[in-house]
Structure 1
């Protein structure tokens, strides 16, 4: 039950970072380069207050775990975690930066908009840095881990944040071409930064990417990476096809497709939050309890620390490959037929499921 609360808190935390980053960036963008947006400034204090609350759940979880083992009550255990553990010290900085950001929002009317937005964005990045400080990667390699996790989370937060605010808070689709001209370049930069920092983090955390699929953390990695495929599809739709349609038909409303892109990014957030609570596959020691239940569905034979994965094609591989092609076609048709968001997302999930099953039935344990 505690794991569920932590996973939910992580998902909400990522959303808070994204919304704050999106709001502050769009406040800095001149109105002629974006559609008219009703930016929910009154919700900013809520999202800011939620950050130290949400980041406190892992701190409390460790305190509850240590209290009976140290023979102390929860308050003494909590004091030890806050003063002696990295996650507790980092949370203290999170609380401090959140307080400063909340103070800035309170004084926002007396400060020039571009200055307050710039400072707000800087504080948001500072909050992301405190979270990167407590990541799995930073515990294994403090310098590379913190840098990699900070770049990774910052790039995704900027990308998702702008999509969320524009997708759900825009009042019209004025200046959409001007918006896409700069946002497409920014999205490409965020994608490259996310990919490179992801590779950087895997080099720190994972000894072998393919062999990591045996454990739950590795299963999370492959699912997250597979969802990047439909994400690229919708990014391409927004960057090229939507832009072409707007030039041909000024009344074309592109908001729908940026919302679909946002939903896919939210799915990736959810996968990241869930599997980030699993221990990373670092080292050669592996117990049967650490083997992923998902992986065991395809391989019920004995698995140990010496097990490695290779690939062997079969008829099942071909079947799932053809099925994935079918769902790609349906994703394309959903665009031209203006299907609902849920239909488009469903086809995307089925496409990812087909590719995942294709890979899993092709794996062979040695």
Structure 2
């Protein structure tokens, strides 16, 4: 069931990103947005996907308690007293309202109704954040950190995905980049700061939650599935920033000077990285945060990926340390070379697929930089 929840969580991120991106573009003046075309039925289905896929964690909890309490008692308990159930009920109400608003109205041509739809999307993001790890550990601070992180990700990433795959032309691309570029920079700063706040709450000792404890637990948590996913997600941000800078700054410069470039091709490459990060985040969201690594390893065992790469026996309570080795330095240099080749490929406007391949290869190389530096 865990793997089903992970898949549905990834699909939930995609659906929420698409709906967020569409609504955000709908509330902007048409002269400043790409000409996007998306069927009302498709948008309704994406909203329905938010409703359906967000139920998977609730169903997982129901299955756990049904064996002891019976279905009806477990259902009432989970839906009315558990945060995950209460958050889903709120999500269901908002999603149904949004589905009705989309189905019965042409939001693409009515900015007022689109604004109402955008507000409903904001509430959906808030509902998702309320049911997250951070909010359960620190109800106020954890909720706001996670909410702001998600909001920035969905509006920046969702807009990029929608503009990349649903734009019919690049006719209004320069006016779009004029406001989207500073927005993307602001969103990135917000998601970085809020993401760090969320991370320190998720992985640090709940009774501490300090930056120092967070850094210690980040290192120790690499032996867990959560820690491995967090490391991969953090590394993937680097190629994402490279592509985002290219699409915002270089493409804007090329268009402003009348040079030939296909912005859709390169934005789609950026969107691919965003979707991969969505998938990694979905996996991470269904893993236990590494608060108490000794008990976590004792009960669930270490991460299979960590076990495959770590040379020493893994025992509860072991202390991980970082120490540069010849191999780790070589992987670091290789990653720098590969990301430099990625930038050159982008600037030369060569192959999109090659740029993506090089960027993922750089990310893999940096992952091995970290893993070959760990010792116990």
Task: Give the equivalent residue in structure 1 for 2:58.
Answer: 59
Name the residue aligned to 1:89: 86
Distance in 1, matches of 2:110 and 2:11, equals 27
| Deviation, structure 1 residue 265 | 0.8
Deviation larger for 5-14 or 25-34: 25-34
CA distance in 1, matches of 2:293, 2:157: 36
Q: Give 1:319's match in structure 2, choosing from 305, 313, 330.
A: 330
2:251 maps to 1:242: yes
Q: Distance in 2 between matches of 1:341 and 1:111?
A: 31
Change (3 A) 1:111 1:13: closer
CA distance in 2, matches of 1:54, 1:184: 31
Q: Partner residue of 1:275? A: 284
- The 3 A distance-change label for structure 1 pair 121 and 110 is closer
Q: Does 1:348 align with 2:345?
A: no
Kept in 2, the 8 Å contact 1:60–1:78? The answer is no
CA contact (8 A) 2:35 2:168 kept: yes
2:214 aligns with none
SS at 1:301 equivalent: coil
Partner SS state of residue 292, structure 2? coil
Distance, in Å, in 1 between the alignment partners of 2:176 and 2:221 is: 40
Give structure 1 stretches of 5+ with no counterpart. Answer: none
- TM-score (ref. length: structure 2): 0.90
How many correspondences in the alignment? 362
Shift of 1:338: 4.1
Question: What's the counterpart of residue 308 of structure 1?
Answer: 319
Check whether the contact 2:26–2:108 (CA below 8 A) recurs between aligned residues.
no
SS in 1 for 2:58: helix
Q: Kindly indicate whether the alpha-carbon contact (under 8 Å) linking 2:24 and 2:159 is maintained by their aligned counterparts in 1.
A: yes
1:321 Cα offset (Å) = 1.9
Matches within 5 A, 1:6-45: 6-45=5-44
Q: 2:310 is matched with which residue?
A: 299
CA RMSD of aligned residues (A): 2.0
Mapped contact 1:13–1:54 kept (Cα < 8 A): yes
Unaligned segments of structure 2, at least 5 residues: 205-216
User: 1:5-154 to 2 correspondence within 5 Å?
Assistant: 5-70=4-69, 72=70, 74-109=71-106, 113-154=110-151
- Partner Cα separation in structure 2 for residue 233 and residue 24 of structure 1: 26
2:12–2:54 contact (8 Å) kept in structure 1: yes
- Is the CA contact (8 Å cut-off) linking 1:321 and 1:354 kept in structure 2? yes
What's the CA shift for 1:250? 4.4
Inter-partner Cα distance in structure 2 for 1:88 and 1:66: 13
C-alpha distance after superposition, 1:300-343 (max 9, x if no partner) = 43444543332222210222122212312331343245444433
Measured after TM superposition, the shift of residue 362 of structure 1 is 1.1
Q: Distance in 1 between matches of 2:67 and 2:27?
A: 50
Range with bigger deviation, 316-325 or 216-225: 316-325
Would you say 1:232 and 2:241 are equivalent positions?
yes
Partner of 2:341: 330
Q: Deviations over 1:282-303 (max 9, x none)?
A: 1364334332222223334344
For 1:340 and 1:275, locate their aligned partners in 2 and report how far apart those are by CA, in whole Å: 31
Alpha-carbon distance in 2 for matches of 1:111, 1:191: 27
Seen in structure 2, the aligned counterparts of structure 1 residues 127 and 43 have a Cα distance that, compared at 3 Å, is: same
TM-score by length of 1: 0.93
**Are 2:230 and 1:221 aligned?**
yes
Aligned to 1:179: 176
